[in-house]
């Protein structure tokens, strides 16, 4: 049988309240944090020693087919507080890449979640608007969806991931694509 050491174990590296995306270290070295707001709400105070830690950004669930998760009260809070938004789920499990179409079979673990948008009128309108803008810019549909998101108030950078190297150009292209006011309005209208 193994004997326990008489030494005291070290305290955990992170202490304080557990909030998604925002953990304050025991030492007062961290002054800022960015909560993930998957539930659509922002904790009233940032955790931290002496409450000196402050929010500088938030990570909402936000894209062309999921606007109500951020637009409204949460975005208003971000605007008033001067918080940057770094939205995750920017391509809606791949739906906003344009590869999910009626009658198309896509071999992906995300296919079920992405295909659910195909059954809605809104999903069809969004795809049609994305196709039109993408064609006008000779750009991938995913790039257009990310460019719309990047142009929204408070958004500093959308989060999108690539499973393959071939998917990277569409994600990186958002840095060069600028949509016109009319194109932004068309996409916004289609996703309403």
pLDDT cut 70: percent of the chain above it: 67
pLDDT above 80: residue 133: yes
pLDDT above 50: residue 110: yes
Which domains are assigned to the chain? 56-190 (3.20.20.100)
Task: Provide the mean pLDDT of the chain.
Answer: 79
Cα dist. 31→6, 13, 24, 48, 176 in Å?
35, 16, 9, 8, 33
Range 37-49 average pLDDT: 53
Confidence of residue 10 (pLDDT cuts 50, 70, 90): very low
pTM flag (> 0.85)? no
What confidence score (pLDDT) does residue 77 get? 85
pLDDT above 60: residue 22: no
What confidence score (pLDDT) does residue 152 get? 96
Residue with tokens 């190297």: 165
Element at 183 (helix H, strand E): helix 181-190
Range 35-49 average pLDDT: 55
Confidence of residue 96 (pLDDT cuts 50, 70, 90): very high
Element at 120 (helix H, strand E): none
Which is more confidently placed, 120 or 48? 120
3-class SS at 127? helix
Q: Which segment, 45-54, 116-125, 153-162, is predicted with the most confidence on average? A: 153-162
pLDDT above 50: residue 13: no
**Rounded Cα–Cα distance for residues 36 and 20 (Å):** 6
The secondary structure of residue 11, as a DSSP letter, is P
Q: What is the pLDDT of residues 60-95, one digit of tens each?
A: 999 999 999 899 988 998 888 888 999 999 999 889
């Amino acid at each position: 049988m193994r004997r326990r050491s008489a030494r005291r174990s070290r305290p955990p590296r992170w202490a304080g309240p557990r909030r998604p995306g925002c953990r304050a270290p025991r030492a007062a070295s961290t002054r800022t944090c960015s909560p993930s707001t998957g539930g659509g709400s922002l904790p009233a105070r940032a955790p931290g020693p002496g409450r000196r830690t402050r929010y500088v950004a938030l990570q909402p669930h936000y894209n062309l087919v999921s606007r109500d998760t951020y637009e409204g009260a949460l975005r208003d809070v971000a605007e008033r507080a001067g918080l940057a938004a770094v939205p995750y789920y920017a391509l809606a499990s791949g739906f906003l890449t344009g590869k999910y179409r009626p009658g198309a079979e896509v071999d992906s673990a995300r296919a079920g979640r992405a295909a659910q948008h195909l059954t809605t009128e809104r999903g069809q309108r969004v795809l049609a608007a994305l196709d039109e803008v993408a064609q006008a810019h000779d750009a991938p549909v995913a790039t257009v969806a990310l460019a719309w998101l990047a142009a929204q108030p408070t958004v500093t950078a959308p989060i999108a991931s690539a499973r393959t190297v071939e998917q990277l150009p569409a994600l990186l292209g958002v840095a060069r694509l600028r949509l016109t006011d009319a194109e932004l309005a068309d996409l916004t209208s289609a996703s309403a």
